[in-house]
Structure formats: C-alpha cells, structure tokens
Structure 1
C-alpha cells in the first residue's frame, strides 16, 4: 500500500473511531445511566459522577486521536520514520497509561464510596489492561521509529 493511501486509511479510521466515541460518550452512556436508574432508583446518585468520570477519561482518548492524525499526516508526507512521529507515539503511550491509571484509581475510590460494584471493577480491569497494552505498544513503536529515524539520518549523511 502506498503511503498516501495508507495515510488516507488511517485518517478514515481515526474519524470513524472519533465518531463512535462521540456517540458512545454523548448518547449511549447517558442512556445506559438512565436505564439503570429506571430499574434501580438507588443508583440515581451514582449516575452523574460516573458520567463525569467517563467524560473526563475521554479527553486523553481524543488527544490520542489528534496525535494519530499528526502521524498519518507525516506518513502521507513521506516522513514515516521521523522524530516527530516518535514523539507523538511517546505521548500516546503516556496518555494511555495515565488514562488507565486514572480510570482504575477512580473506580477504586467509587468502590470505597459504595458507588461501584465488584463486577464493574472487573470490567474496568479489562479496560485498564487494554489501555496498558496500548501504552506499551505505543512506547515500543516510538522506540522503533527513533531507531529507524537514526538509521535514515545516517543513510542521508553517507550519500
């Protein structure tokens, strides 16, 4: 696949993920909260704090999408192995790890305040695991892009 086609596909996927996230955060989650309250009115006091937590945790996700867009632009401009891309991937790693830790700690606090349940902790654990996996993959990619950029720079100097 050519670089410009790859960049277009990456941007298409980023837009798709952004739209799916927007629908999830603004439509599905609030409706799910309303559904829970309809079936158990005791949960009413918990819905808004959970929605706020989820909305806060969305911020790093959208920053990562922005960084992914920058990487796609660099790929389209034939700068796949650049220090900028390595930096964007490193920031993606930091944001994914930070968001995972934030989500885990917030759920522990909600659990201690009797605003969560053990089953929710299991789901959060899976989400945190995925976030940490994304963080580690982004860090590894950042490292590889730096190595490739170094090799590319050496080759440009020797020619």
Structure 2
C-alpha cells in the first residue's frame, strides 16, 4: 500500500468514525437518557446536566479527529515522519488525558451532588483507563515519529 492510498483509507476511517460519533452524540445518548428518565423519573433533574457533560467531552474527540485528518494528509504528501506529525500526536495525547480526566472528575462531582450512582463512577474508571492507554500510545508514537523525523533530517543533510 502506497502513501496516497494509505492516506485515503485513513481519511475514510476518520469520516466514518466522525459520523458514528455524531450518531451516538446526537441520537443514541439522548434517547438512552430519555428512556432512563422515563424509567426513573426521580433523575429527570439530572438529564440536562449529564447531556451537557457528554457533549462537552465530545468536543476534544472531534478535535482529535481533525488532528488525525492532518496527519493523514501529511502521510499522503510523503511526510509521515515529520515534526508536525509528532506535535499533532503529542496534542492528541494531551487532549485524550485531559478529556478522560475531566470526565472522571465530573463523575465524582455528580456523585457528590447526588446526581450519579456509585456504580457509574466505578464504570467510568474503565473510560479513564482506556483514555490513559490511548494517551500513552499517542505520546509514544509522538516520540518515535520525532526520532524518525530527526534521523530523516540528518540523512537528508548527509546526502
């Protein structure tokens, strides 16, 4: 697979993930929330605040997709190992850990305000672990891409 076709595949995957995320954020989560409110009317006062929290945590996800789009574009232009890609991967790592940390902290805050169940707080630990894992992988890739870019630059200077 050449750079151009890999770039196109990555961009198609990013579009599909973005559309799936839009479906989840715009339809699935609100409808699940409405069914929970219908089943447990005592939690109706929590619906709007939870929806705002979920939507706010979705913003960094779409920023990460935009960064992924730029990385895919660089791959298509035969700049896979560039300082720009390394910086974008580092930003992805920071955004991921910040978003998951924010989500976990807000789960605890909602629990303390009696707007959450302790089981949901424990389940949010899974989201926290996954976010930290994605952040660690992005940080490691950033480091490796930076090293490869430095080696490529040295190699270009010696020829």
Give the TM-score normalised by structure 1.
0.98
Question: Secondary structure of the residue that 1:115 maps to in structure 2?
Answer: coil
Report Cα offsets for 1:92-130 as digits up to 9, x if no partner: 000001001100100000010011112211221111111
Q: Does 1:104 align with 2:104?
A: yes
Q: Does 1:47 align with 2:47?
A: yes
Report Cα offsets for 1:43-67 as digits up to 9, x if no partner: 1011111110000000000000000
Equivalent position of 1:85 in the other structure = 85
Equivalent position of 1:32 in the other structure = 32
CA distance in 2, matches of 1:123, 1:75: 37
CA distance in 2, matches of 1:94, 1:138: 9
How far off its partner does 1:157 sit?
0.3
Equivalent position of 2:59 in the other structure = 59
Equivalent position of 1:11 in the other structure = 11
Structure 1 segments unaligned to the other structure (5+ residues): none
The aligned length equals 159
Equivalent position of 2:147 in the other structure = 147
CA distance in 2, matches of 1:122, 1:109: 13
Q: 1:125-144 residue pairs with structure 2 within 5 A?
A: 125-144=125-144
CA distance in 2, matches of 1:130, 1:11: 23
How far off its partner does 1:152 sit?
0.1
Give the TM-score normalised by structure 2.
0.98
Report Cα offsets for 1:49-93 as digits up to 9, x if no partner: 111000000000000000000000000000000000000000000
C-alpha RMSD over aligned residues: 0.6
Question: Secondary structure of the residue that 1:151 maps to in structure 2?
Answer: helix
Q: Which runs of 4+ in 1 moved over 3 A?
A: none
Question: Secondary structure of the residue that 2:155 maps to in structure 1?
Answer: helix
